[in-house]
Amino acid sequence: MDHLEYLDNGQIAAVRGGDGIVKVIAGPGSGKTRIITHRIAYLLTEKKAAPGAVLAMTYTRKATQTMQARLNKLSGAAASEVGVKTIHSLCLKIAREEGLVPGYRVLSDYEANSILKDILKEQKPGIDLENARQSIRGMKNCLITAEEARVLNPEVARIYTAYERKKRQANGIDYEDMLLTVFNLFSTRHTAREKYAERYQYILIDEAQDISKAQFEIIKLLIAPHYNLFVVCDPNQAIYGWRGANGSIARLQNDYPEMKEFALTTNYRHGENIIRASNNLIRHNYDALSIQPVPAPGTVPGEVLVIEAKTPEQEAYTTAKQIMRLKRKGARLKDCAILVRANRQIPIYARACAEVGIPCDCRANQKPASSFQEKSLLKTIMDGIYRMFKPRESSLSWENSPRPSARDRLNILTMHKAKGLEFDHVFVGGLTEGTFPDTRKDPDIEEERRICYVAMTRAKKSLYLGTATPSSRFAYEAFSA
């Protein structure tokens, strides 16, 4: 297949951007994965790069599978030799090749949280599990050790130190350890760094706006001396600031002023009404990207509607009834999604959907269960919701239900999990001031707004904004001219 086939002029210019540091700013629906895969095909066919010398990194295992499948269609057998990985899987591979983690296994989030729960019970600090876990992950992603953390936050540092000790006792490593191990390897053993820099002559990164400081430093060490780096990003969709991802693109510009830049402005996902609403929202951010996307020719304008209610439960029930109306008009449930800010909101919508007879799939929010206890807990939660409304036939069972492809099921997932996905009909739930944004926690409002922007831009045909009293500022901003 021609590697330039089906690309527009802006995409072709980016794909053929030449060697060196190349940045492609690509908004929602502009073809991020397509650009990466066609760039790889270009490298293999026109640059004559060896497939094994090309490394593409993306953000989830599912995204790597999607990228690999598309690359297989473009490049055939050669595609299997291209490295398509998450940065964590790359670092784990390097650490194991270098013998740095002998006998260690990667802990699941469930196991890491269990260790932290025990520590919190022992130390009784003024911090909850979620904040403790996020603080430690954020520090590691910023290359801050437990010793260095003492200056920043002594309370978190004590938890961090105990966590590292108990983790070693369990012969375990977490995802952040993979990054720190490889960063230390490349920083101290130049022959090891040179070996992998020689192996990977061309490096491509999807969703580069979300790379952390640790990831950014590893990439900088890996691209020298060839400096062939191709990044695709959208700063308006940067939603991982808590782990040190803020400013990664600005640092790239500062460190490599000779970087070439391209912008993709054609939106193939949705039309002018959804573009307008999402742009109205994001323009309230001080650092919002100013590039104006345009709908592709022939794209339907799309609908943007508001679901107003007094309580979250009423909003969820009204949402479920609207989804049932769409189904009766011919929409498939698997083409619809309810997107929420936090996992704790999912049961409200799951209960409402069960009441009106809508089968749901909430599994996208779950990590693979790594233990009997974890799997049993997930199953108990989902089946408990089911028994409240459907005592004879489960519409929400988690383990024994057919895969979503076998039966038509509504998607309910968090906004973070929805990144990279698209649905015909999207319901952004919980747009209530105090909940989203959560004003009780002094949130980063600009990042909260970007998360809402990500959710809104998943829609292809219709977008519903669900609010309960008092309505979120984000709902008002979406309709402000």
pLDDT for res 371: 37
The pLDDT of residue 13 is 96
Query: If you ran DSSP here, which 8-state letter would residue 108 be given?
Result: P
Q: How far is CA 205 from its chain centroid?
A: 14
- How far CA 459 is from CA of 267, 337, 387, in Å, comes to 12, 9, 32
Q: Which two tokens stand for residue 327?
A: 């189904």
In order, the DSSP letters of 10-42 are: HHHHHHT--SSEEEEEE-TTS-HHHHHHHHHHH
How far apart are alpha carbons 343 and 418 in whole angstroms?
12
**Three-class SS of residue 416?**
coil
Give the per-residue pLDDT at 368: 41
Predicted local distance difference test score (pLDDT) of residue 250: 82
H helices present in 395-444, as ranges: none
Could you read off the pLDDT tens digit of each residue along the chain, which spans 481 residues?
A: 567 878 999 999 999 999 999 999 999 999 999 999 999 999 999 888 999 999 999 988 989 999 999 999 998 888 999 999 999 999 999 999 999 988 899 999 899 999 999 999 999 888 899 889 999 999 999 999 999 999 999 999 999 999 999 999 999 999 999 999 999 999 999 999 999 999 999 999 999 999 999 999 999 999 998 999 999 999 999 998 877 776 778 888 899 999 999 999 999 999 999 999 999 999 999 988 878 899 999 899 999 999 999 999 999 999 999 999 999 999 999 999 999 999 999 999 999 999 999 999 987 665 543 333 434 444 444 454 444 544 433 344 333 333 444 489 999 999 999 999 999 999 999 999 999 998 877 678 999 999 999 999 999 999 999 999 999 999 999 998 6
* pTM, full prediction: 0.88
Q: For residue 295, how many C-alpha atoms fall within 13 Å in the half-sphere facing its CB? A: 19
Which residues are CB-neighbours of 157 under 8 A, at least 6 positions away? 146, 147, 149, 150
Q: What is the pLDDT of residue 364?
A: 62
Q: What pLDDT is attached to residue 386?
A: 45
Q: What are phi and psi of 69, to 5 degrees?
A: -65, -40
- Token pair belonging to 317: 């029930």
Determine the Cα–Cα distance for residues 140 and 434; give it in Å rounded to an integer. 30
